[in-house]
Amino acid sequence: MTLRLRGVAKDYTVRDKTTRALDGVDLDIARGDFVCVVGASGSGKSTLLSLVAGLLLPTEGEVLLDGAPVSGPGPDRGLVFQAGALFPWRTVERNVAFGLELLGLGAAERAARVEWYLKETGLADVRHSLPRQLSGGQRQRVAIARALAGEPAVLLLDEPFGALDVQTKEDMQVLIRQIWADTGTTVLMVTHDVEEAVFLGARVVVLASDPGRIAADVDVALPPGRGLPVKREPEFLALRARIEDLVREQHRGHLDRLAGVE
């Protein structure tokens, strides 16, 4: 599945005041790609993801999945947010099964899928637990397993590890790379963490603010089978510094414009 954004703009209107959150966004994501979007807070990262998810519709331009305009949410896109929005009264396995019930899969197929994704995400032992009995990292694993179980063509992640401690976050990064390698799914992930973006992404897209737009689209030329130690390698550190500079530059330009300095 290819995902294509063409001249996408999004306006929000609050009490008669309209602000443009995104403008002129063109982006092509091929099947199996892993694209991370970084940018300062308010640069339109979540708006971009919500447009692809079909939770919002563009004011201008279009979002195309295999050439067809996105007009709403669909099972071809799996979504994970920062705070995993699990069903508190459902056990882990019933949370993972939720989307499959909606898809109308038969009981045997459902059970097989749930089994596979519980294993893939390391949740088999807590399958009968309720979300409140889990750690933050485990809860995010459930959210990821639930999104994956429907076998979406595109996995959409909005700062999914933003609330986790560093150790758990790194475990989750390794997990996501493993899942990507195992399933070949296309991933579009928003993060404000540049180290995370460079570690995970095959491409890193940098957004400029006000209005949000694409300032840079950088290929990550690191080995596909990379593990956590790559974060200490000179190539990694150089790329990370370069992208952090881009984000900082965009943010400084934004602050200058706010202050009326050109």
Residues that bind ligand ADP (CB under 6 A): 12, 14, 21, 39, 41-47, 212
Q: Report the residue number whose CB is nearest to Mg ion.
A: 46
Q: How far is the CB of 53 from ligand ADP (least distance, A)?
A: 12
Strand partners for 64: 4, 69
Please give the C-alpha separations between residue 228 and each of 167, 193, 241, in angstroms, as whole numbers: 11, 15, 17
| Piece of the chain touching Mg ion by CB under 5 A; list 40-48, 113-121, 139-147, 243-251 | 40-48
Q: How far is the CB of 17 from Mg ion (least distance, A)?
A: 20
Of 23 and 93, the one with the shorter C-beta distance to ligand ADP is 23
Q: How far is the CB of 160 from Mg ion (least distance, A)?
A: 11
- Write out the two tokens for 16: 């008669």
Of 47 and 95, the one with the shorter C-beta distance to Mg ion is 47
| Piece of the chain touching Mg ion by CB under 5 A; list 16-24, 41-49, 87-95, 178-186 | 41-49
From candidates 9, 39, 46, 180, binder to Mg ion by CB under 5 A: 46
By CB under 5 A, residue 95 contacts Mg ion? no
Q: How far is the CB of 191 from Mg ion (least distance, A)?
A: 10
CB 180 within 8 A of CB 34: yes
What is the CB neighbour count within 10 angstroms for residue 122? 14
By CB under 5 A, residue 138 contacts Mg ion? no
131 binds, among Mg ion, ligand ADP, none (CB under 5 to 8 A by kind): none
CB 62 within 8 A of CB 6: yes
Q: How far is the CB of 127 from ligand ADP (least distance, A)?
A: 33
Of 12 and 89, the one with the shorter C-beta distance to ligand ADP is 12
Q: Residue numbers of the site for Mg ion (CB under 5 A)?
A: 45-46
